[in-house]
Amino acid sequence: MPATPRRAPKFGGSASHQKLLMANLAASLFAAGGIVTTEGKAKALRPIAEKLITKAVKAQEEGPMRLHRIRQIQSYLNDKEITNRLVKDLAPRYVNRNGGYTRILKLGPRHGDNAPMARIELV
């Protein structure tokens, strides 16, 4: 039996909705190199994107775990093209870097609902 959630749902949905939202944001980030979203979503996306990039960097090493790490990334993103781009194009840039793959820039409030906006981009 799964544990009961400790806090209320974030971003106006269930846990499965939040997982899909973060997966779509991560896929968009890897496809474009940077996206504009709300501050809360950007701050929630950062650790997820960093962990996916770390898995892709570790998948650069030859060995029995390479395919497993690629499949873990694929299972989270649900997009073969983005997974391929992350592993083949983006990860080699970060092989010699120890974390800190993303940057969050605060942009100011959004017109309409005054939500604080931010740009999250790959370094």
Just give the CATH number of 15-122: 3.90.1030.10
Torsion sign across C-alpha atoms 49, 79, 64, 62:
negative
- Under the banding of pLDDT at 50, 70 and 90, the label for residue 22 is very high
Task: With a cut of 80, say whether residue 2 has pLDDT above it.
Answer: no
Give me the chain's average pLDDT, please.
Answer: 93
Query: Does residue 6 surpass a pLDDT of 80?
Result: no
Q: Where are the domains of the chain?
A: 15-122
| Residue 5: pLDDT over 70 | no
pLDDT class of 14 with cuts at 50, 70, 90: confident
pLDDT tens digit sequence for 48-97:
999 999 999 999 999 899 999 999 999 999 999 999 999 999 999 999 99
Six token digits for residue 42: 């950007």
Question: Measuring CA to CA, how many Å separate 52 from each of 9, 11, 25, 73?
Answer: 23, 21, 12, 6
